[in-house]
Amino acid sequence: MRWLFLALAVFVSCKEEQHEANFEKAPSERLIEKKRLYCGLSSATVKSNGYSVVKCDGLFFSGLRGISCGDLDLSRFESKTQPGKWYRDPEHSCFVPDSLDNGSDSTISKDMLLGLMHYFWYSRDLNGVNRTIDYGKAHSWVMGEAKDDITLASKCLMPPGQISILYDIQSKLSAIPLTTTNTDIFSENTGFRAHLDVLAILLGASVRGTISTSQVETLKAQAKRQPRNALYQAAYALYTDGNQSATEALLFDESRFPKDALPTTKNICSDYLWTDDDTPSDYEPCPDHSETYEGLDLIIAASVANGSFFKKKPTAR
């Protein structure tokens, strides 16, 4: 029995071996230039709107946009009277109690907070982290309002995993050594939850410096499950051989991502391809609509591929 216990301990230890990012095969300068082009072409519209992609998911996408293009800050999303309280949109209008015009059933959600934490980390906003922690502690980590108690618990209550990474961001930005390791477990989710899992893994890896074998396996499973998702391909390659050729092949498909212009409804039928599972119609033109997209899906995947999602690149293995 003792030998069985030791063998099991060794097995678990091996499964949770920590891995560092691999930057040995950086993506081509051509991809980096394409990302810069898309940032530039969409910047005026995004800054005029005050948010990225979709208004009522604005905090999430704007956080990712802010660290990838550097042309958005999130100050308008924060309450002026309750520091550390954040909203989905810069006008704080996506949920108003007792209103029939609500665009959402809550003022904030866990995915909005994930985008916010990405922004805190890569913009080194320690003051923003401190304000958010102070607000969370003062409100039992209920970070906003919702239409009912069930929605409040499911969307506005910050989960322990997010609280932990928020405190770790605070420690790292304060130059305090971390005592935690990156061993969070992620299920093989589908749809938008899979997208959030991949981004959460990337954030934890950047803050804590490494990711576990089980997290690499999660990235592998998602990349295999969704072969046309360039974000998943980029994230998985970053922690294996560093070869971003699959990512580049997807992002250089000019039928979806033109080389000298932003994508429109003549190219694809989605303003951000990676959020949900592969729906064939999303990858096809929208003949009944006319819209120019921001191209944030390309911008984010290219940022992950070239390592710019890291505040400071870890040493390659």
Q: Tell whether 145 is covered by a domain.
A: yes
Are 178 and 208 in contact, with CB atoms under 8 Å apart? yes
Specify the pTM.
0.88
pLDDT range class, residue 2, cuts 50, 70, 90: very low
Does residue 317 share a domain with residue 189? yes
Does residue 167 share a domain with residue 62? yes
**CA–CA separation, 209 and 297 (whole Å):** 25
Query: What mean pLDDT, rounded, does the chain reach?
Result: 88
- Tens digits of residue pLDDT in 267-294: 999 999 999 999 889 999 998 889 999 9
Q: What is the dihedral of CA 113, 73, 181, 237, to 10 degrees?
A: 100
Are 231 and 300 in contact, with CB atoms under 8 Å apart? yes
Give the end of a domain, one of 180, 196, 214. Answer: 180
Question: By C-alpha distance, which of 4, 2, 18, 14 is closest to 182?
Answer: 18
Decide if pLDDT at 1 tops 50: no
Does residue 120 share a domain with residue 217? no
Decide if pLDDT at 314 tops 60: no
Are 253 and 170 in contact, with CB atoms under 8 Å apart? no
Does residue 83 share a domain with residue 142? yes
Decide if pLDDT at 5 tops 50: no
Q: Tell whether 127 is covered by a domain.
A: yes
Does residue 317 share a domain with residue 190? yes
**CA–CA separation, 285 and 268 (whole Å):** 5
Q: Tell whether 8 is covered by a domain.
A: no
Q: What is the mean pLDDT of residues 159-174?
A: 95
Q: Tell whether 1 is covered by a domain.
A: no
pLDDT range class, residue 183, cuts 50, 70, 90: low
Q: Tell whether 5 is covered by a domain.
A: no
Does residue 204 share a domain with residue 152? no
**CA–CA separation, 91 and 76 (whole Å):** 7
**Identity of residue 247:** T
Does residue 91 share a domain with residue 48? no
Q: What is the mean pLDDT of residues 220-238?
A: 96
Number of structural domains in the chain: 2
Does residue 315 share a domain with residue 233? yes
Q: What is the DSSP string of the chain?
A: -HHHHHHHHHHHHHHT-EE----SSPPPHHHHHHHHHHHHHHHHHHHHHTSSS-GGGHHHHHHHHHHHHS----GGGB-SSSTT-B-SSTTS-S--TT-S--SSSBS--HHHHHHHHHHHHHHT-HHHHHHHHHHHHHTTTB-S-BSSHHHIIIIIB--HHHHHHHHHHHHHHTTPPP---S--------HHHHHHHHHHHHHHHHHHS-EEHHHHHHHHHHHHH-TT-HHHHHHHHHTTT---HHHHHHHT-TTTS-SSS--BTTT-S-S-TTSSS--GGGGS--TT---B---HHHHHHHHHHTTTTSSSPPPP-
Does residue 313 share a domain with residue 212? yes
Q: Tell whether 15 is covered by a domain.
A: no
- Tens digits of residue pLDDT in 81-102: 999 999 999 999 998 776 656 6
pLDDT at position 25, please?
58
Give the end of a domain, one of 136, 157, 180. Answer: 180
Q: Which 3-state string (H, E, C) describes 119-146? A: HHHHHCCHHHHHHHHHHHHHCCCECCCE
- Tens digits of residue pLDDT in 36-57: 999 999 999 999 999 999 999 9
Q: Tell whether 16 is covered by a domain.
A: no
Q: What is the mean pLDDT of residues 19-39?
A: 80
Does residue 209 share a domain with residue 171? no
pLDDT at position 308, please?
72
Q: Tell whether 148 is covered by a domain.
A: yes
pLDDT range class, residue 12, cuts 50, 70, 90: very low
**CA–CA separation, 303 and 307 (whole Å):** 6
Give the end of a domain, one of 156, 180, 204. Answer: 180
Does residue 162 share a domain with residue 193? no
Does residue 195 share a domain with residue 129? no
> Which range of residues forms the domain containing residue 193?
23-52+185-317
Decide if pLDDT at 33 tops 90: yes
